[in-house]
Amino acid sequence: MQTIVIILSILLFAAVAMIVATYLGKFKDTDKDGIPDSVEEFVDEKTGEVIEVVKKFKRKKPGRKKKK
């Protein structure tokens, strides 16, 4: 239980530090939403990759019947 609290505390600290650094201008944020542009781009790229993987696993395989 303590391990979970420690991990969540570290993640919270990192998130607050990134928000403060963005506010102070250390990270580029052109749309002024508080999320650095590099983070937004990274999430957009990974979201596209995840969607492709999900489509790959959901495709119909030969010989399988439709679920009713």
Task: Tell me the domain boundaries of the chain.
Answer: 2-58
Query: Taking a C-beta distance cutoff of 8 angstroms, is the pair 49, 64 a contact?
Result: no
How far apart CA 45 and CA 23 sit, in angstroms, is 24
Residue range 3-17: mean pLDDT, rounded: 94
- Tens-place pLDDT, residues 13-45: 998 998 888 888 888 888 888 788 888 899 999
The predicted pLDDT at position 60 comes to: 67
What integer best gives the mean pLDDT of the chain? 85
Predicted TM-score (pTM) of the model is: 0.54
How far apart CA 41 and CA 25 sit, in angstroms, is 18
The predicted pLDDT at position 61 comes to: 67
